[in-house]
Structure 1
């Protein structure tokens, strides 16, 4: 909760709104959940990783936020239906859906990528946002000013080495964002996307599962790639969350179908590395 010029508590940008964040157990999702709560929202954390989600929930409640954790695999239609239903039963409404849950998949060229990996990446990264939106939209329309913010990726805007499934899935999220904006603007629902570049997180715990030397090498590769961007570094998760909160709030009231890059300039320049 912010303070006004007299030092009294002031309403946050999301006060009285219910915000559902998928993939809220760690990384960007956790940062979004914390930022939404700080802006006055009641927050629902959805994730398959209960231990991390409980840590996020503890951080929110320690800061006197109102929040719940609901386990959910966003690729599972039945689980998503229950997630949305429980959210509305608990809080009485749903105002903002943040489709953040995502996985990277194995790095391999297309002719070496197994179909199981392709299907799982598509299921989580593209089917997930669609299924969540499908079940959330009736409630967002009822809200009168509902919002969807999709967390896509710069890899949805450009090609990247050895990432066919991830690039395709995030490209799908980018254009799903535009399509939903076309259909639901007339119902008062705005739909936008954020495309992060290199962010200092370990998405899906991939580095944590590697031997220490390999994990450090993976981190160093990301740092080296980020260093070639105009701003020369990786983002912090809270730098992504600030863009998401802006798009979720009335400050972006005339934005829909927008694809917002938060990438240190990486898509603005040819990478000579």
Structure 2
């Protein structure tokens, strides 16, 4: 049995948001190593150029396109530039996220609520919609939304963030059901505690870490690469019959 093509992304073009570091960057590198041409996007062009050049030095095909997904007006340009560069779009990873606050939900301002929803919910909704005309032309289109275990059960101090990630899970299922006829698969990944800059407020807090480790079956913090490996599965032919799935990668926290 030849399994060489089961996880191959040869000939595919992938757009990944929040891709200058952390989980997004790891996904971009995994996809590139699997043969995809990758579009890295985040807010700062300088950071994107650095990472795209690093991937190119490994023989991969990559480009960086700056976009603040919280500014909805910038999303069309991101899609247009991606397609202009590579001529197609097969995979979209909605990874960019934000959480500017940590504390009780009743202390969350409406301004913070709006910012979290704009980046974590509204941007994936609109970017997916804008990518639809291109994705439907693909022979194996895949959309992957990076949610969180907080979207399955609210996390202490992360109330509105948890709400936004729950909405993203629901959105994943809606798109999966409606886009099935267009042969576009849509799935979600719910990472647990992953050692990234984004989650540093959690894994650098000794009290929180002690609590988390007691809940885990695999008693350690996860890595970005472990999320990227799951994303590769969802982007590849290996998951061709998988859509609307909500997959956890959390060391057993949600068992």
Conserved in 2, the CA contact under 8 Å of 1:75 and 1:131?
Answer: no
Query: Is it true that 1:255 corresponds to 2:242 in the alignment?
Result: yes
The structure number with the bigger radius of gyration is 1
Unaligned runs of 5+ in 2: none
TM normalised by structure 2 equals 0.93
Which position in structure 2 is the counterpart of 1:33?
A: 28
Which position in structure 1 is the counterpart of 2:176?
A: 181
Q: How many residues align?
A: 252
TM-align CA RMSD = 1.9
> Structure 2 matches for 1:85-234, cutoff 5 A?
85-203=80-198, 207=200, 218-228=204-214, 229-234=216-221
Give distance in 1, aligned partners of 2:206 and 2:51. Answer: 27
Q: Kindly indicate whether structure 1 or structure 2 has the higher relative contact order, using CA contacts under 8 Å at least 6 residues apart.
A: 2
Choose 259-268 or 12-21, whichever is displaced more: 12-21
Residue 177 of structure 1 aligns to a residue whose secondary structure is helix
Conserved in 1, the CA contact under 8 Å of 2:195 and 2:203?
Answer: no
Conserved in 2, the CA contact under 8 Å of 1:144 and 1:187?
Answer: no
Conserved in 2, the CA contact under 8 Å of 1:105 and 1:166?
Answer: no
Conserved in 2, the CA contact under 8 Å of 1:25 and 1:56?
Answer: yes
Unaligned runs of 5+ in 1: 208-214, 269-273
Give distance in 1, aligned partners of 2:238 and 2:202. Answer: 40
TM normalised by structure 1 equals 0.87
| CA shift digits 1:88-129 (9 cap, x unpaired) | 111000000000000122012121111111110111011111
Which position in structure 2 is the counterpart of 1:56?
A: 51
| CA shift digits 1:206-245 (9 cap, x unpaired) | 85xxxxxxx7983434532442211011101100000001
Per-residue deviation, 1:152: 0.3
Which position in structure 2 is the counterpart of 1:235?
A: 222
